Structure 1
Amino acid sequence: MADEVKLFRTWSSPYGLRVVWALKLKGIEFETIFEDLANKSPLLLQYNPVHKKIPVLLHKGKPVCESLVILEYIDETWNETYPLLPKDPFKKAEARFWAKFNDDKLFPLIRKASLGHGKEKEEARVLATENLKHVEEQLEGKKFFGGEKIGYLDLAFGWMAYLINVLEEVGGTPLINKEEYPRLSRWMEIFYEIPLFRESWPDRDKLIIKFQNYK
């Protein structure tokens, strides 16, 4: 097929999952190719020779790498259905800023706060709490980060809706509560139950085992 779309990802990666959500919102048919990162396929190494990571979107035989880049590619390529990024240049820049904040700062801190040990874990917990307050502020007066509809930033933060609870259980460290983060807690509940996404959630028991092994 001339417009063939394939997605290389793993069963558990939140980065691959956000691409799945974007494709579903756009109504794009695609084939999923699950990778074992302990034994990477020749195709993955061919299509992402620089980082050798997932996800990789293959469209018309051309690879697009890095999940946030892929989200923008999807939005620009299939621009007639369900826009993900705002049209306003400032709001678009804001969304990109917070998505990068999530990937570069928040997610790594929450992993350390859950799976780390000793002083590293405690320091990460303090910093994660401070950064979660910034995320909470972004939802003031809004149902989703993108407003009344799910958008690019919701997909970037979407991992929180299912992974936070798993990490809290594995790490024995509560991170988010309704009293301190009422908007974020509500957003997580709504996002988790969206029918279009519900079928794609990774198996919880398998995730717990995976992160217990990391710990």
Structure 2
Amino acid sequence: MNLFAEGLSFSWMVGSLLILAGLLVWAVRTAPWYKIQNDKGAQHVILAASLIVFLTWQFAASLGDGVTFHFLLMTTATLMFGPQFAILAMSLALIGVTLQSGLGFLGFGVNALLMGVIPVFITWWMARWAFNVLDRNIFVFVFFNAFLSAAVGVVVSLGMAALVMYAAEIQSYETLKQSFIPYIPLLAMPEGFVNGMLMMAFVLFKPEWVSSFSDRDYFN
């Protein structure tokens, strides 16, 4: 869901940018930089993830009137890098999307919060809850941490986007009811499937890329 700055009021733009600025400061200050400081391979993986998110967000299905849908992939980024690096990688990708699509940088904060921050924190909270409460095995990791949290994240993210478009008077309720809201639950399954398959592949073939996964915890 890519919102153009022209449709947002000044208060929406400034308020979202201030919130995002605070989150970026938090991410930079608390990110585990020691994990990638002298590891060029890890740095390349994060940059590659940013590029993949950028390309994914470029390919959106449009329903007209500026309403678009695309995969978020924030669950995969969060499980691989943690919430701090996921937010930073998402921000890099969104800079490219904003420039390429002409969204306008004044709308950067709203788009970052809706498409990135919300699903990132939903994924991280669900993963932490599962680690403490559920059995620790690869099936829980893939189906709950990846599949289910991605599905929940995209539904909440798009639901909040609908509220923002209505509250900011970008779209009327009738337009949202006909062209946006009915499609929200339909995206839960594909978003969950894509993230679940990606995480299954990574934990099997490249577990060192997944910071939230440990052979000791999930295979023993």
TM-score (norm 2): 0.32
If asked which structure has higher relative contact order (CA below 8 Å, sep 6+), I would say: 2
Q: Tell me which protein shows more helix as a share of its residues.
A: 2
- What is the TM-score when the length of structure 1 is the normalising length? 0.33
Report the structure, 1 or 2, having the larger strand content. Answer: 1
